[in-house]
Amino acid sequence: MITIDPERVVGRIDPKVYGMFIEHLGRCIYGGIFDEGSPRADAEGYRIDVLKACEGLAPPILRWPGGNFASGYHWQDGVGPPHERPRRLDLAWFAEESNRFGTDEFIGLCRRLNCEPYICANAGTGTIEEAAAWVEYCNGWTNTFYANLRRRNGNRVPYNVMYWGLGNEVYGHWQIGHQSAEDYAKKAREMAKLMRWTDPRIKLVACGLGERSWDEPVLEALRGLVEYLSVHCYVGSSNYYENVSKATVLEDLLDRTEATIAEVFGVGDAAQAPVKIAVDEWNVWYRTHGGERFAASKLEEVYDLSDALCVATLLHVLQRRCRTVGIANLAQMVNVIAPILAGESGVVLQSIYHPLSLLRHHSKEFALCVDVRCEEISTALTGSRPVLYLDAMATRSEDGRALCLSVVNRHESEPLRVPLEFVGCQAELNAVWEVNGPDVHAANSLAEPQLVTARKAEGLSFDGTYTFPAHSHTIMEFVLH
Ligand code: AHR
């Protein structure tokens, strides 16, 4: 049984949890979103078919330029006449960076997608002065060098970039400019001060880990200077039941992060703290992870139906944690561990595209507590703590009239028929969409682009119970009376 009480509100979901991330890595930007000279690109180099696919995800916020790339990126290389920009060695991914896509092109992309830019500054090889100068370039209104540089580059009106990251994964040995928590905290504090003094309106994201040993000193040093603490979450397994149960990893990560935030700010409940969590990289990623700096694979993960079910449950967690999670960015949007694969001959929407798009478009403003009673998957299959076959998330509109129920049936072979109980109201079923495919390892390709897809159900009748097909993600829209 699934019980939904529209009065049991968890909180308001920040739309920024439906954010995306792009990095100068493999074919995410060059050869993906930005492909100068391609017959599929517009005059400025943006791939028209790729942008159309991105619109289906409607990201409210887009993080750039990395990722690991951000820790060696000098933004001034990427502005001014494109043919004069230096080609650089990118030591994050052992690649060559042409710098033809830079700040102005990123802002152009955000405008095309109608989303907020979120720039991750360089806390690796970058200086605090360089980070502040980037804020001035983007947001400056004064008659000073960097604001004038933006104007000289043809952009009179400030970009008003409100979201800025203070570095990426600085805690990791793989990072350019890897630092201890204490060294990072010191540098990030000075970066934050200068960036804020340049534009006091900006919101800053500190680099967090989800481990107290790192997050506590960082939050202590940045108290009053940052609005968000970032954590990253990549999960996945080639074992089906392990894969679809991986949302527990995100739950545990958020539990740990909330506990540290509550402790540092001396509040019983992390939701009362002045810092929210930014899960600014998350996804299923295991096939192309690791190995020889894993650059050779270009991280072009091919996603199957099981990954789509996992992604739906991960996004459910982000919605459920709306009291503490203020930003989340799926990593990444195009080609690199991405829902959209763009090749010379066209675009493929991968399996994970469909739950992301459905939840983005049909979820309502408020997250609700939902009770699910059904069989558990044996821990021998999940390899983790017990999880239920069904994972359900409900959201309702501000006016209380519309409700969206999102349900993943993780059962590999059996449909599950369950009563849907609505407390204190009548629910009229309006529409149903289902993401499914022939089997859990089905994956889309150019040859078979619609093996895993979202279908709208026709001819619905609702008698208070619903059968969720095996290995499916279902979105149900109700009108409440
Ligand atoms: O998204 C790919 C990489 O994963 C990012 O560059 C880095 O931040 C993370 O380790």
Q: pLDDT tens for residues 207-235?
A: 999 999 999 999 999 999 999 999 999 99
The answer, yes or no, to whether any atom of ligand 1 lies below 6 A from the CB of 23, is yes
What mean pLDDT is predicted for residues 280-306? 85
**Residue with CA closest to ligand 1 atom 2:** 67
Closest C-alpha to 181, from 162, 209, 142, 204 = 209
Structural domains of the chain sorted by starting position, each given as residue range(s) with its CATH number in brackets: 13-364 (3.20.20.80), 367-480 (2.60.40.1180)
What mean pLDDT is predicted for residues 9-24? 98
Check pLDDT > 80 for residue 293.
no
What is the distance between the alpha carbons of residues 131 and 123, in angstroms, rounded to a whole number? 8
Supply the pLDDT for residue 295.
60
435: CB partners within 8 A, 6+ apart: 305, 308, 312, 351, 354, 355, 358, 452, 453, 454, 472, 473, 474
Lowest mean pLDDT segment, chosen from 109-118, 168-177, 295-304, 374-383: 295-304
Cβ–Cβ < 8 Å for 391, 372: yes
What is the distance between the alpha carbons of residues 285 and 23, in angstroms, rounded to a whole number? 15
The answer, yes or no, to whether any atom of ligand 1 lies below 6 A from the CB of 165, is no
Ligand 1: atom nearest CA of 70 is 6
Supply the pLDDT for residue 461.
82
What is the distance between the alpha carbons of residues 331 and 22, in angstroms, rounded to a whole number? 7
Supply the pLDDT for residue 268.
94
Strands annotated E in 258-389: 276-284, 325-331, 340-343, 346-349, 366-372, 376-377, 387-388
Supply the pLDDT for residue 291.
62
What mean pLDDT is predicted for residues 6-30? 97
What mean pLDDT is predicted for residues 71-76? 98
Number of neighbours of residue 276 by Cβ within 10 angstroms: 22
Ligand 1: atom nearest CA of 299 is 2
Quote the Cα angle for 357-361-364, to 5°.
Answer: 135
β partners of residue 478? 403, 429
Check pLDDT > 70 for residue 155.
yes
What mean pLDDT is predicted for residues 175-180? 98
The answer, yes or no, to whether any atom of ligand 1 lies below 6 A from the CB of 332, is yes
Q: Using only C-alpha atoms, what is the Rg of the chain?
A: 22
At which residue do the structure tokens 């059904």 appear? 374
Between 146 and 344, the higher pLDDT residue: 146
Check pLDDT > 90 for residue 458.
no
**169 in catalytic set:** yes
Check pLDDT > 70 for residue 292.
no
Residue of 23, 227, 242, 281 marked active site: 281
β partners of residue 390? 409
Lowest mean pLDDT segment, chosen from 9-13, 353-357, 461-465: 461-465
Model confidence at 332, pLDDT cuts 50, 70, 90, reads: very high
**Main-chain phi, psi angles of 343, to 5 degrees:** -115, 180
What mean pLDDT is predicted for residues 47-61? 98
289: CB partners within 8 A, 6+ apart: 234, 236
Cβ–Cβ < 8 Å for 55, 347: no
Mean pLDDT computed over every residue of the chain: 96
How many Å lie between the centroid of ligand 1 and the Cα of residue 208?
14
Please compute, for residue 221, the number of CA atoms within 13 A of its CA located in the half-sphere on the CB side: 22
What is the distance between the alpha carbons of residues 229 and 209, in angstroms, rounded to a whole number? 9
Model confidence at 297, pLDDT cuts 50, 70, 90, reads: low
**Residue with CA closest to ligand 1 atom 4:** 67
Could you read off the pLDDT of 252-264 as tens digits, one per residue? Answer: 999 999 999 999 9
Supply the pLDDT for residue 337.
96
Supply the pLDDT for residue 382.
87
Model confidence at 25, pLDDT cuts 50, 70, 90, reads: very high
The answer, yes or no, to whether any atom of ligand 1 lies below 6 A from the CB of 357, is no
Supply the pLDDT for residue 296.
61
Closest C-alpha to 339, from 282, 275, 397 = 282
| Per-residue tokens: 186 | 């010191």
